[in-house]
Amino acid sequence: MNVINNEVFEALASLEKEKGIPMSYLIEKISNAIAIAIKRDFGGSENTIVEIDPAKNRFYVAVRKNVVEEVEDPETEITLADATKYSKVAHIGGVVEIPLETKQFGRIAAQSAKHVIRQAISEAEKGQIAQKYMDKKYEIISVPILKIDEVKGNATVEIDKTEAILPKSEQVPGEELHEGQRVMVYVVDVLTGGKNPKLMISRSHPGLIKRLFEMHTPEIKDGTVEIKAVSREAGSRTKIAVWSKDENVDAVGACIGPKGSRVSAIVEELGGEKIDVIRYSEQPEELIAAALSPAEVSKVLVDPTGAKACKAIVPDSQLSLAIGNKGQNVRLAARLTGWKIDIGPESQAEQIIEEMETLRRETQEQIDKAVEDLFADEEF
């Protein structure tokens, strides 16, 4: 047995307490590292023994050798005469353990322990940072802007005393950020593959809208109101569909807030981005009509072929409003609902209805014919 300075074990105990690294894990790693080093420096034997006992503050390091009449490989074999120095019951064909003195393995043990501990600390800290970051995934956090890259436009922000990059592509178009300013960012993902964990953050992601409404609307926090869908063109316009399982709760009103206070706070945070809050419905016609807000919709005709497509008829005076600037309103409505939406004016309503009715008849005829063909050869 070889007694080792108990400062090593005190250091391991301290790491377990402060860094959360189990002593048993470190001891196993140190044992393996010492075994490899002993194998390298003392003959390459596979039969290296390393036992570390923190309860007794002891290391035991030894190598096993086969007892033979004549040694051909001194790294793995030993004569009976030499073997009896280590074991009184040594015999030809047997195995003896040869303990190594501290002066023989002490330097190796110290170097191995230092390397393992240093690596373990690094891995533990990386793991702790990663876990801390993972807890922030899909959340929004308020961060200070440290600096702006004048060439690329990327913003460096501080999160838990660590720097993160808000790329120009993830910023709100038209928004000017300044050093020292605090902004809300959405944590899109956590990348743990590199040397250090990294946060992917954004101010243009639809998730930011969802979290801002959760922050400002108690009814969403307690589950009374649910956000069903969000579609967004950052810096310009957002549509959000909300719903309540409680018939006595006005989901839209809850999100807008008294005198528009809640939605106004979100609009201000986003630099004036327009936000349409609509009531979600399981009925496609109702949902699509609401999604085209602020335009009024006279009628929604669902494609009878089963495709998620429809024709929305609006008053002629509402046509441009329903379509929106460069098609933005109908585009956002389509993303929100998951339906392809074509807009038509009331002045062409009869023609549109007739076209849809014709399509319905043709579809039904095709279905009927397919059924007839299927059973044409069947005898009843």
What CATH homologous superfamily does 140-202 map to?
Nucleic acid-binding proteins (2.40.50.140)
The β-bridge relationship of strands 274-279 and 237-244 is: parallel
More confident residue, 130 or 150: 150
Average confidence score pLDDT of the chain: 87
Whether residue 106 has pLDDT greater than 70: no
Digit-coded pLDDT (tens) for 182-235: 999 999 998 877 677 788 999 999 999 999 999 999 999 999 999 999 999 999
More confident residue, 241 or 379: 241
The average pLDDT across 40-60 equals: 74
Fold assignment, 205-280? GMP Synthetase; Chain A, domain 3 (3.30.300)
Q: What percent of the chain has pLDDT over 90?
A: 54
The β-bridge relationship of strands 182-191 and 198-202 is: antiparallel
Digit-coded pLDDT (tens) for 283-342: 999 999 999 999 999 999 998 887 899 999 999 999 999 999 999 999 999 999 999 999
Give the pLDDT score at 3.
42
Domain boundaries, the chain: 2-134, 140-202, 205-280, 285-375
CA dihedral 138→142→148→153, nearest 10 degrees, is: 40
Give the pLDDT score at 43.
58
Q: What is the CATH number of domain 285-375?
A: 3.30.300.20
Highest mean pLDDT among 53-57, 119-123, 231-235, 372-376: 231-235
205-280 matches 285-375 in fold:
yes
Asked if residue 306 lies in contact with residue 313, where contact means CB atoms within 8 angstroms, the answer is no
Give pTM, 2 decimals: 0.67
Give the pLDDT score at 217.
96
Q: How many C-beta neighbours within 10 Å does residue 57 have?
A: 15
Cβ-based neighbours of 36, under 8 Å, separated by 6 or more: none
CATH classification number, 2-134, choose in 3.30.1480.10, 3.10.180.10, 3.40.5.10, 3.40.640.10: 3.30.1480.10
Strand-by-strand arrangement of the 155-159 sheet: 162-166, 155-159, 140-148, 182-191, 198-202
3-state helix vs strand vs coil in the chain, percent to 5: 45, 25, 30
